[in-house]
Amino acid sequence: MNIFVLGSIAFDELGQFKGSFKDLIQGSHSGRLSLSFLVENSVESFGGCAGNMAYGLGLLKCPATLCGLLGTDGQGYKEVLESWGMEVQFLTLDSDHRTARAVITSDRDGAQIAHFTPGAMNPVHSFELPPTAQAGDLFLAGPENPERVLQAVEQAKAKGLRVLLDPGQILHVFSSEELLSLVRGSEVLIVNEFEWDLFQKKTGLNLQGLLEILPLLIVTKGEKGATLYSTAGNAEVSAFPAEMKDSTGAGDAFRAGLLAGLKKGYSFAQAAEVGTVLGSACVECAFTQGYKLSPDRVLALKKLGWPELRLPN
């Protein structure tokens, strides 16, 4: 079983606001919102949902094939992804645009304000499923160019791949009909609590209605862990203890652990436990990549049956 990942690959600019966004917003005029705040510790780093997942998969020594987009400035990033054990031959290199860029600011409560410049993701590069993909392989469809996501999911389903749908921050872009088309025939929808609320509003489906057309829903809940919903019953997966520094990228780390666990033959609940260990490591780091596995996390992963890990210096 191989893993294929479609998702954004970007350069991140991450910073912290020492106050609380809600205090600023409550004090603003709702009809003409205008905010200004001081950002500290702003640093550029590698990022993007697929790039962040690749880092987590690399820590678990679990290779995956990346199917995303890089721009004219992306060669160095491509080499880094390859050094983590990722298959990069199917990355599309845009010769006219720079790699996507995200500017993300987190406040003291873990809330975020972000803006994203799509760069190489903006033109529509038609998606072509890598010829190495076979029925039964895992295909994670994460946030990327919406048209490419629709193409990719259709192609993956047609070839019999197990589709994990992770629309993330582009969920709002899809119409109700498109969202229903994406979930039908997929194996699981992965969302956070806000995204789950938005999905229900856009589609009109409640939990029961969704589970009539999709086997599994995973809702991540930050420090409360994650809940897995299916017609067979619900399963709660506790979060691994962590001291939060920055929540950016924690969801991507969780998905990396989930994918790696599924490839290893774990159940979704067992694989989600692997995901919570990686997610907890990420929130203790100021960046979406570069986090390390502490001794207690290494022990937890070994108890979950993980014999090999890449431990960065």
Residues known to be catalytic:
252
Contact 17, 37 (CB under 8 A): yes
d(CA 287, CA 250): 10
- What is the layout of strands, in order, in the sheet containing 233-237? 65-66, 3-6, 138-141, 162-165, 188-192, 216-220, 226-230, 233-237
Amino acid symbol at 177: E
Amino acid symbol at 139: F
Q: What is the pTM of this model?
A: 0.89
- pLDDT for res 44: 79
d(CA 289, CA 10): 12
Q: How many other CB atoms sit within 10 Å of the CB of residue 112? A: 15
Contact 168, 145 (CB under 8 A): no
- Torsion angle of C-alpha atoms 15, 19, 25, 26, degrees rounded to 10: 170
Q: Which has the closest alpha carbon to 178: 151, 218, 217, 206?
A: 151
CATH superfamily of 3-303: Ribokinase (3.40.1190.20)
- pLDDT for res 101: 87
Low-confidence ranges of the chain (pLDDT < 70): 26-31, 41, 123, 311-313
- pLDDT for res 27: 58
Domain range summary for the chain, segments of one domain joined by +:
3-303
